[in-house]
Each structure stands twice: as C-alpha cells, then as structure tokens.
Chain A
C-alpha cells in the first residue's frame, strides 16, 4: 500500500508571494502522483499529475510540482499566489501495479492567501 504525508495543515501567505506546499509519499512500488484542490463548498478538482517523463509537471492556475524520487516528494509550488487560490490542497498517490486502483490521500493543506 501507499501513504502520503502533508506536514503542513495550514499555510498562510500574502498575496503575490510564492508558496510551496509539501508532500511526501511512501510506497514499495512505482507510483503516480496527483494534486487536487478543493475550493470552499466545492468538490475536488485535479490540479496536476505526474505519470512519467519529465519530473517537473505544470498544472492549472499557474501551479507546478516536481517529482523527486530520491526524496519521495512531490511538492507543489506557485511563484505568485492570488486571493482566489485560497482553498484546501490534497496530495494523492496511486501504485502502478495491477489492482492498484484507488488513491491514497494526504490529510490536506489549507492555503489561506492574505490580502
């Protein structure tokens, strides 16, 4: 099985400042990695995903994440945040093998952008 750790439960940041939301995973097999965002009173929306190839992946709304296999990390970054980025962000992992179908989620990081 896999597991995900999001060390920061809350991250406050000023508008137009950069942000990094940390994600570390544990798995005995190769993985696919995902970041989802949940805006207030809305469902989960896919931000970006790492399947293979380039370790730097770009997603929607100016977010990007870098897969680091040696550090088992998949941190999410944005160079300049906006008020509208205030939301909860979930990192998720999924094993590559057959039968490895469900996602394992971290407990989420609540990003609050301060005007």
Chain B
C-alpha cells in the first residue's frame, strides 16, 4: 500500500487478557519496527525485524511481549496477560533498510487496559 497501516486503531481490553496488534508495512520495505508511545515517556523501541535475520528483541519490556513477521511483510505484536501499564499507543514503522534510511510510521494502535 501507499503507507504503513495498523489495526485496530483503538483497542480496549481488560487486565489479564491477551491482545494482538497488526502492522502492514510499505510494500518492499525490508525493515520493520515496533515502538511504544506513552505519556511522559516518549517513544520507546520494542523490536526490529530485518529481512530473514533474527529479530532484535532488545527493547521488549517483558516476556509477555512478543512479535512475529510472516513472509517478510505483515507483523503482529502480541501482549499476553495485559497490565494497566501496557496502556499506550503502539507504533509500527518500516524502512527500506538502507543505512540512515528514515522510518515511515503508521498511525498507531491506542491500547487501553482497564
């Protein structure tokens, strides 16, 4: 597509439930990133995929968080046993993978954990 898309745009869930957030990157972009935007904490890196390489998971805050990228395209971020502190806007970005290449961000998924 023309840009990065994410779904759902909003997700309200109860504490303890699992959630899945989806990202469709720009076609042909080999690099895909997940970030989290929380009030007062800015943008926080979560995980990075590049082609078929093993993902860089160094930013995941706990083992309740996981992500996969199927076929080098669509990615799903899964949060298990959600907690209230997981409430944030989850942003996906893709890039062409070139050195210094900018990220193109999706509109985000606003997650609210009650």
A and B are interacting partners: yes
B84 to chain A, nearest CB (A): 21
A46 & B42 in contact (Cβ 8 Å cutoff): no
Specify which chain B residues have a CB less than 8 angstroms from the CB of A49 in the assembled complex: 100, 102
Residue from A42, A52, A96, A102 in contact with B33 in the complex, judged by beta carbons closer than 8 Å = A102
B25 sits at the interface (CB 8 A) = no
A residues 36-93 near B (Cβ < 8 Å) are: 36, 42-46, 49, 51-52, 90, 92
| Most chain A CB neighbours (cut-off 10 Å) among B48, B103, B107 | B103
B42 & A106 in contact (Cβ 8 Å cutoff): yes
A104 & B45 in contact (Cβ 8 Å cutoff): yes
Task: Report the count of interface residues on B (CB-CB < 8 A).
Answer: 24
B43 to chain A, nearest CB (A): 4
CB-based nearest B residue for A43: B107
Specify which chain B residues have a CB less than 8 angstroms from the CB of A34 in the assembled complex: 102
B91 & A43 in contact (Cβ 8 Å cutoff): yes
B112 sits at the interface (CB 8 A) = no
A99 & B56 in contact (Cβ 8 Å cutoff): yes
| Most chain A CB neighbours (cut-off 10 Å) among B42, B45, B56, B93 | B42
A103 & B104 in contact (Cβ 8 Å cutoff): no
**8 other contacts beyond A32-B100, A51-B100, A103-B35, with CB at 8 A cut-off?**
A36-B105, A43-B4, A43-B106, A46-B102, A49-B102, A103-B103, A106-B42, A107-B42
Identify the B interface with A (CB < 8 A): 4, 31, 33, 35, 40-43, 45, 48, 50, 56, 59, 91, 93, 99-100, 102-108
